[in-house]
Amino acid sequence: MATEVRLPELGEGVTEGELVKWLVKPGDSVKTDQAIAEIMTDKATVEVPSPTSGVVKELKFKVGEVIKVENVLITLDSVGTSALAPAAKAPAPQAAAAKTPAAPQPAAAQPKTQATSTTTNGSGTLFVKLPELGEGVAEGELVKWLVKPGDAVKVDQSVAEIMTDKATVEVPSTMAGTVTELMFKVGEVVKVENVLLKLSGSGGTAQAAPIQTPVTSKPAPPVQNAPKMQQPAGATAAGPVMYPPVADFKVLATPSTRRLAREMNVDLNSMSGSGLAGRVTRDDVMKSKPQSAAPQPAAGTPAPSTGSQTSHAPGMQIPKPGYQSPAGAAEERVPLIGVRKKIAENLQKAKQIIPHFTLMDEADVTQLVGFRESMKQATEKSGVKVTYLPFVMKALIATIREFPMLNASIDDAAGEIVYKKYFNLGFAADTPNGLLVPVIKSADQKSILDLSKEIVDLSTRAREGKLKLDEMRNATITITNIGSVGGTYATPVINHPEVAILGMYKISDKLVLEEGGKVGVRKVMNFTITCDHRLIDGAVAARVLKAFINRIQNPGVLMLDMH
């Protein structure tokens, strides 16, 4: 006698699944509760157990096909031995439980039937959300789960470690229950008010039989940490969306002001407007969020949520204030175009994105001066003027080999640090058109003489405006040499997306106290290293400058690293 095995209910709201794999084939004998197929639903892949024993006669579907609940999966020939009531209908399955590697604890099987349901009858599912983590902290990275599905959780028990920009905190549960589902993986970014995990209601020991209530309209049950944001009905792990409460009819704000408030995450309902008859003005909304210094323009700005931001780093909307001429006749206006415009854009971008800091120190270059003098004859013969710049380049390359974070970039869009294994040195060139930065590619593989030749060539052509675009691209770090003009120290601007710029200044004679109390004259030269503080700490910069100076002061040491 043949028995039909049907696809059982796979969970609330799941009406079908895709056949991933058969675990049996015709002719196999199957025991009761033996898994016969893997079915993938939108929520999980589950193994479907046979409700009865027998010999597989026919598989009714092919892998990849979609099977509806109650469709006949396979037919079994009953084996003569146990002719006891071949149940035609499958009992409730273990659904998601089947695949969890955990040993089949008797109690564990049942609660897990609920793992896929988001709303339940009675006490139902509880949602533990990520609470406010502190002023201005909107999200954090999940570092570690402190609980796992099946664990009983008490109120205030820590359930996860979340790392914010400021600290790593343990997040307590606001309620008690049994963990049914963890909504994020370690390493994922969780936003405040996102559902962290789901609990089955208190007293959540095995319910006699999971009642298959049809999913009705109940949205998420209330949560203690009264959410200031509203959570849409469908917010699940797939991508919860937050928005401030919709303004009540009584709120007096124009549609554009309401949009601005939404974009700035301001709840208009709780605001008292400064305008006539309590009208909430744009200014009111702006002022209510002092910490967000640069509000984005109203129209069409993407929500600063989803990780899908591209190219632009945060805060790239640069204001364009006008200039009111106080004395028009005594002023001249020329268009800001060409190289100057490009310089303006680049430097503004760099300052906008990079938190700069500059460290300054003085190097005793007496030896280097002598060293260079000693080479003079040889170099003049080859017709190349060797300046101090190639030596500085060599010392810098050797130093950043030691400190690779200086030869790096930050990919803001991807949230990654890019370490570069090549050394393209930019050097600032003063030209009639303004500042240009020619680049010596693979400077680490070139000799002092080669570097000197290239410096002369590039800077000549820079002054003549004959540099190719490619010759000003892809520097990994830049050197500025305004010391040749004057000044003791400067605070240069980093050439974004690089993360550091080295400044070198003029050589001067300095009286120093030598050993033994004698007064001597030394050649000294000032250096600055300006760094992107996002990537480079002050102490690192200090070590970098120290290592650099050690090399530039001792041409012998410098030689050691030369290629």
Catalytic residues, by residue number, are 533
SS3 93: coil
> With contact defined as beta carbons under 8 Å apart, do 145 and 244 qualify?
no
Stretch that binds other proteins, among 139-147, 168-176, 270-278, 481-489 (CB under 8 A): 270-278
3-class secondary structure per residue, 451-518:
HHHHHHHHHHHHHCCCCCHHHHCCCCEEEECHHHCCCCCCCCCCCCCCCEEEEEEEEEEEEEECCCCC
Q: How far is the CB of 37 from other proteins (least distance, A)?
A: 18
Tell me which DSSP letter residue 550 carries. H
> With contact defined as beta carbons under 8 Å apart, do 222 and 336 qualify?
no
Hey, which bits of 69-115 come out as E strands?
A: 72-77
403 binds other proteins (CB under 8 A): no
Options 279, 351, 506, 510; binder of other proteins; rule CB under 8 A: 279
Stretch that binds other proteins, among 83-91, 297-305, 313-321, 462-470 (CB under 8 A): 297-305
Q: How far apart, in Å, are the Cα atoms of 280 and each of 258, 263, 297?
A: 9, 15, 18
63 binds other proteins (CB under 8 A): no
For 111, phi and psi rounded to 5 degrees? -55, -30
Stretch that binds other proteins, among 10-18, 47-55, 132-140, 555-563 (CB under 8 A): 10-18
Specify the residue, 11 or 54, whose C-beta has the smaller distance to other proteins: 11
Specify the residue, 16 or 151, whose C-beta has the smaller distance to other proteins: 16
357 binds other proteins (CB under 8 A): no
Q: How far is the CB of 425 from other proteins (least distance, A)?
A: 40
233 binds other proteins (CB under 8 A): yes
> Rounded distance, CA 223 to CA 198, Å?
12
Footprint of other proteins on 517-556 (CB under 8 A): none
Q: How far is the CB of 64 from other proteins (least distance, A)?
A: 12
Specify the residue, 191 or 279, whose C-beta has the smaller distance to other proteins: 279
Options 32, 82, 274, 306; binder of other proteins; rule CB under 8 A: 306
Options 64, 103, 185, 216; binder of other proteins; rule CB under 8 A: 216
290 binds other proteins (CB under 8 A): no
65 binds other proteins (CB under 8 A): no
- Please state, as a whole number, how many other Cβ atoms lie within 10 Å of the Cβ of residue 497: 20
Options 91, 134, 136, 302; binder of other proteins; rule CB under 8 A: 302
Stretch that binds other proteins, among 70-78, 124-132, 272-280, 429-437 (CB under 8 A): 272-280
SS3 541: helix
SS3 300: coil
Q: How far is the CB of 240 from other proteins (least distance, A)?
A: 8
Q: Which residues have a Cβ under 8 Å from the Cβ of 453 and sit 6 or more positions away?
A: 384
Q: What is the DSSP string of 218-233?
A: --PPP-SS--SSB--T
Judging by DSSP bridges, how do beta strands 66-68 and 16-22 pair with one another? antiparallel
The pairs formed by 319-327 with CB atoms below 8 angstroms and a separation of 24 or more are: 319/294
Options 106, 290, 300, 486; binder of other proteins; rule CB under 8 A: 300
In the chain, what is the straight-line distance between the N-terminal and C-terminal CA atoms, in Å?
Answer: 84
> With contact defined as beta carbons under 8 Å apart, do 398 and 559 qualify?
no
198 binds other proteins (CB under 8 A): no
Specify the residue, 259 or 506, whose C-beta has the smaller distance to other proteins: 259
Q: How many of the chain's residues bind other proteins (CB under 8 A)? A: 43
Options 303, 344, 413, 560; binder of other proteins; rule CB under 8 A: 303
314 binds other proteins (CB under 8 A): no
Closest CA to 122 of 196, 235, 205, 211: 211
Sign, Cα dihedral of 534, 540, 541, 544: negative
Q: How far is the CB of 225 from other proteins (least distance, A)?
A: 20
Specify the residue, 259 or 463, whose C-beta has the smaller distance to other proteins: 259
With 0-12 CB in 10 A as exposed, 13-18 as middle and 19+ as buried, what is 450? middle
97 binds other proteins (CB under 8 A): no
Options 224, 301, 374, 442; binder of other proteins; rule CB under 8 A: 301
Interface mask toward other proteins for 246-265; x: CB under 8 A: xx-xx-xxxx--xx--xx--
Binding-site ranges for other proteins (CB under 8 A): 13-16, 42, 66, 215-217, 230, 232-236, 238-241, 243, 246-247, 249-250, 252-255, 258-259, 262-263, 276-279, 300-303, 305-306, 308
